[in-house]
Amino acid sequence: MDTEEKPLALRGKLITGEKKTGRAGTRARGLRLDTIRRPGQPPICSPSGDREDESTSYLLEVQEALKKALAPIFPERGGRCCPSCILNIFSEFSPSSQSSPPLSKARDWSMKWNSNCCISSDTILREEEKFLPIDITSVTKNKDLYEESSQSERGKSRMTQRNNEREPSLYTKPMEMNTKKGTTGQPIRLLSNYFKLPTVTNWCLYQYRIDFEPEEDRNAVKSQMLREHKDKLVGGYIFDGTVLFTPYIYEKEKLEFFSKRRSDDALVRITIRRVGMLRAGDYHYVHFFNLLMRRCLQNLNLQLVGRHYFDPHARQRIDPYRLELWPGFITSIRQHEQELLLCTEITHKVMRQETVLDLLEDCVKESPTDYKNLFRKTILGAIVLTDYNNRTYRVDDIDFNSTPASKFDRNGKSTSYVEYYREKYEIKIRNENQPMLITKPKQRMRMQGQDKNTFLVPELCRMTGLSDKMRTNFELMRKLADSTRFNPSQRMERLQSFNRKLHTNAQIQEELKSWQMCLSQNLVSIPSRILPREKIILRSDNYPITCDPGIKSDWTSELKSKPMLSSLPIDSWAVISPSSLKYEVRQFVSQLRKSAAQMEWRLSEPSYRELEDDRTQSYIEALTFATGNWNPRFILVILATNRLDRYSAVKRKCCVEYAVPTQVILRKNITSKNVASIASKVAIQLNCKTGGAPWTVEIPMKGLMVVGFDVYHDSLQRNLSIGALVASLDKPMSRYFSAVSYHKTGEELSNELSANICKALHKYRQYNNQLPQRIVIYRDGVGEGQLQYVYRHEVTFLKETLKKVYGDNPVKMAFIVVTKRINTRLFCDGRNPPPGTVVDDVITLPERYDFFLVSQSVRQGTVSPTSYNVIFDELGLDPDKLQRLTYKLTHLYFNWSGTVRVPAPVQYAHKLAFLVGQALHKIPSDGMEEVLYFL
């Protein structure tokens, strides 16, 4: 009986004589991981049909020994060890070398392999057979998984990228933690945009690497050519463009087929090599489920654009802006606390009808003599879509010396871009005089030796997203918001409609059934809690004044007529404005002083400097005069129009050179009907910029410093990033220290973060005569793939720095990654959950110490929770207290009299990084580091 025809229970048999290279370069001596049978499974047969032989019995004995030796670790991680590391341990055992007992040998080899398998290299085996807490764990990929060389450099790049995307997760849940669930608050049941997968396949999957020669980039074409040989590939398979997954073992290790490519009639050689194996429970096994789900989406006649699927048949035209809005879905299958869940989120893609060539022609019409600079300013950094291969690219440069008629080397042959697109994609380029766009490889690709630029034809590149001009168009933005913003009940209905389409599509159901999978028809129900409302403290002296934020967490009305927490009288300040707005400015200043007086903040009469014109140079000269003659505590600047260059000039002059806080206001705001409300908010901002604070909440913890950190890319210096840090200096969280640093690499960021933390500690000691006892760092701007790096570099370097500062009295620290852009949505009886809703079960991840928090009140659309991942914690606080502290901090962003999505220090850090990256482009003056000048 051929292997392909055997039942699943007999596949993955013991194949004697098969050569398998292990991680250490030794032979596996014919022993395969899948010879280990599970409890209740029938004995696995050898090729001759015999029962388990001596080798198999010995393997089972070794497996039991390994279970005992590794028991302290793997129960905390779901009771599994990755097959890669077990296979390598097994490769050192054989029936002929049983001189040492299996248990002792298992211990020895578990230590030998702990740096290569799913056990962290910093794990130490104690004599009493207990392990220290493991910081980084999960399944690692087999080093021999993709050792077969690719036939093209681009193929190597794709495989390397695929491996990078499958890096192990960071295991952040402490081993000694019994539960990460809190208890405080009112229990409540919510629904979320997840669907259960009640039954999933648990087959052993084999991975086959597929190469095409000559090279082919289009996945659709590769899939079509592979389907021509489906009768030669036994059983079903899933193909993602590079790797094929199947539960069947093909007869040969290497297969070769030939197909004719329809676009150019070229004969393409298809090479199939077996490169690896996955079992149910492996970390990478979930990738297979996501591939299967993407195939189901294809059966719904959805179109792949970038990374997600959209429905072109349901597109909505937005006239007269030459835009189309395509609805789509984001899907992701992942192992959550108890089971696999499918997360489904509704998304939209703005498809612009104009090409980059259209944009170039508009620039030529607008500025015939300087169109090149205008075009560069408009297109650099933009993301474009190429329809011929359905990919998106970032435009990094423009080559005006190259055109589509220019030639390049293609497999040793000189070919023009015109010929290339005609032969490969059957596309005729009409304009052969247009310049070429350049996309540079990312840093990761450059490190792998892929340093060649990609050249794109503007005529074939479609613009994506919204331009700055479109974003300022109120009517357009309103139309987009009306079409994309769904309230919770509407979003739930669309999710259920998507689920019904999956269940009523015969092809999809047949596909899922063939893989023994099914999908629940109901949204996941999750337990959650509503944390108690916080009291807002407006004054904390002998006559404390507090207010209740209410169910919507908004205390704006209470604030307007009550004193602020702290404020300093202002005896000198200046106003700079165009002379044409003299009357309007005086009226606004009068209202501003009145609003400040209602909040018991004394503002004197300002000094006025009126301008005859609104040129940028006139504002600079007025700022120089005001700072040199009046020594103002702050300067109020009135602008007639919203121009970034003028705003940047004002901020750069005052924040970098003079260290004087400024408040910039547009003419339309001082003449608004809501001028009283605007004046109150401006008064609060100015109080904060001069060292005051409007309110606080009760923070019971003493000796606490909270740090917010965010990263932003400089809009002019694209190779530089800005790291902004904001740290609290007092118990009420009313005074803050801020620091900014530029960096090019992650190593520089780690160094600057630690250096700025030390500056904050020095400033904290000046305020409190002692160093903080506890430090909580909220880190924003971290992607899923950066968690490992942040832990290994930023956290490790920071711990070493703090050890030098504190010496023998170590500080207690927690490092929490804050993520706002997530696909999780929560529903409470068809409405948004109230502020203070926390979720720490079901949809959280088992390897993380994480929770979701809804802290803000949303009046339109569906609320998006914020994810908090505690990757390091030595505070000694239980999860309940950490969740409550996080919620308290969302009340302390002084630019909004309500709760915000993230803790206030994080929002302050974002505001600071944005100001530097968009307007200043320089490090602010040290004289501003103790005030919130960036509000």
Question: So which residues are the catalytic ones?
Answer: 710, 748, 780, 910
Render 919-935 in DSSP notation, one character per residue. II-SPPPGGGTTS-TT-
Contact 851, 837 (CB under 8 A): no
The secondary structure element, H or E, covering residue 268 is strand 267-278
| Spatial distance between the Cα atoms of 634 and 687, rounded to a whole number of angstroms | 10
- Asked whether the beta carbons of 379 and 437 are under 8 A apart, the reply is yes
Residues 6 or more apart in contact with residue 859 via CB below 8 angstroms: none
Enter the tokens of residue 273: 């090599």
Rounded to whole angstroms, the Cα distance separating 171 from 911 reads 31
Write b or e for each residue in 458-487: b if 16 or more Cβ atoms lie within 10 A of its Cβ, otherwise e.
Answer: bbbbbbbebeeeeeeeeebeebbeeeeebe
Cα 392 to Cα 310: distance, rounded to the nearest angstrom? 15
Q: What end-to-end distance do the CA atoms of the chain give, in Å?
A: 75
SS3 annotation, 606-656: CEEEEECCCCHHHHHHHHHHHHHHCCCCCEEEEECCCCHHHHHHHHHHHHH
Catalogue the long-range contacts made by 507-514 (C-beta closer than 8 Å, 24 or more residues apart).
507/299, 508/296, 508/299, 508/300, 511/292, 511/295, 511/296, 511/299, 512/292, 512/296, 514/236
| 854 SS3 class | strand
Query: Measuring CA to CA, how many Å separate 448 from each of 275, 409, 443?
Result: 21, 21, 9
Distance (Å) of CA 634 to CA 368, 496, 724: 43, 55, 23
Q: How far apart are CA 261 and CA 263, in angstroms?
A: 6
Is residue 121 packed enough to be buried (19+ CB in 10 Å), middle (13-18) or exposed (0-12)?
A: exposed
d(CA 619, CA 637): 9
CA nearest 636: which of 613, 664, 608, 596?
A: 664
Q: At what angle do helices 54-69 and 102-112 cross, to 10 degrees?
A: 60
Q: Tell me which amino acid residue 658 is.
A: Y
Q: How far apart are CA 929 and CA 179, in angstroms?
A: 40
Identify whether the C-beta of residue 447 lies closer than 8 Å to the C-beta of residue 407: no
- What distances in angstroms separate CA 890 from CA 106, 534, 708, one per listed residue? 50, 10, 12
The CA-CA-CA angle for residues 453, 454, 456, to 5°, reads 140
The DSSP secondary structure of 320-357, one letter per residue, reads: TTTEEEEEEEEEEEEE-SSSEEEEEEEEEEEEEEEEHH
Category of 850 on φ-ψ map: left (φ > 0), alpha (ψ -120 to 50) or beta: beta
Q: Residues 14, 56: contact at Cβ < 8 Å?
A: yes
Q: Give the span between the Cα atoms of 750 and 798, in whole angstroms.
A: 8
Over its C-alpha atoms, the chain yields an Rg (Å, rounded) of 31
870: helix, strand or coil: strand
Return the amino acid letter for 103: L
The alpha helices in 172-255, defined as continuous H runs, are 219-227
Residue 809: CB atoms within 10 Å: 8
Phi and psi torsions of 627, nearest 5°: -70, -30
Strands 243-246 and 721-728: unpaired
